[in-house]
Amino acid sequence: MTAKQINNRHVFEVPFRDVGMRGEMFSAAYIIHAEEALARFWDQREPLDTDPAFYVSKVSCNLLRAVRFGDRIETTVRVSKIGGRSAGFSILMHRGAEQVAEAEIIWSACDRQSGAPAPLPEDLRDWLYRFLD
């Protein structure tokens, strides 16, 4: 798929299970929804035999505005960093035109068999560069 064919947006409605007694979404739920958006983005790429395995090496989230049960949130996934052995993703969350949060997730590459750190293959790096913000 080309960069134009990849859908980097995902919409969700804040479910009741993600909301606390104050009516605001739990902070951990922002990370869960960011990881889901990233997984949906990544699933659109056809995996190759040369792809390494990945593990999450960093997660952070800036909460800008509280969201509540039933709010419709749109996420946008962007590639924020491409390193020799890792890739960074920025997941923006909006309620309408208002940005409510931004999560950063770093994936580090490792060898599928040994688990040792591994470089990102050139074809994967080329694919990621098409989405670099």
Please report the domains of the chain, with CATH numbers, ordered by start residue.
Answer: 9-129 (3.10.129.10)
Averaged pLDDT for residues 90-94: 98
Give the pLDDT of residue 1: 47
pTM of the prediction? 0.90
Question: Per residue in 69-88, pLDDT tens?
Answer: 999 999 999 999 999 999 99
Q: Is the pLDDT of residue 58 over 50?
A: yes
DSSP conformational letter for 19 = B
pLDDT in tens, 2-23: 455 778 999 999 999 999 999 9
Q: Could you give the 3-state DSSP secondary structure of residue 124?
A: helix
pLDDT confidence of residue 4: 53
The predicted pLDDT at position 7 comes to 85
Phi, psi of 26 (to 5 degrees): -60, 145
Token couple for 116 = 């040792």
Q: Which of 29, 50, 52, 39 is nearest to 7 (CA)?
A: 39
pLDDT exceeds 80 at position 68: yes
H-type alpha helices, the chain: 27-42, 122-129
